[in-house]
């Protein structure tokens, strides 16, 4: 995640999409996603896969991940 405003948080966490995602992970806007602004951030667990779910009526697509303890 390349945003200095979040560096204090994200420097200790990993993005499930970057570790185990398939595809670009673009989630916004839902109708024609062009940006990955929704993330699942983890620490102390292992992302096994990450994906986007179908649009639900929000302007963002939901993000999901399978996590291994």
- Structurally, how many domains does the chain consist of? 1
pLDDT at residue 7, rounded to an integer: 83
19 Cβ neighbours under 8 A, 6+ residues apart: 42, 46, 47, 50
Distance CA 36, CA 50 (A): 13
Q: What is the pLDDT along the chain (69 residues), one digit of tens a residue?
A: 667 888 888 888 999 999 999 889 999 999 999 999 999 999 999 999 999 999 999 999 999 999 999
Q: Classify residue 41 by burial, with Cβ atoms within 10 Å: 0-12, 13-18, 19+.
A: middle
- Expressed as residue numbers, the domain containing 64 is 4-28+37-68
pTM exceeds 0.95: no
């Amino acid at each position: 995640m390349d945003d200095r405003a979040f560096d204090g948080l994200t420097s200790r966490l990993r993005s499930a999409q970057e570790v185990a995602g398939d595809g670009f992970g673009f989630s916004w806007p839902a109708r024609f996603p062009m940006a990955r602004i929704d993330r699942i951030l983890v620490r102390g667990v292992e992302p096994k896969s990450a994906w986007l779910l179908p649009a639900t009526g929000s302007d963002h697509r939901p993000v999901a991940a399978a996590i291994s303890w």
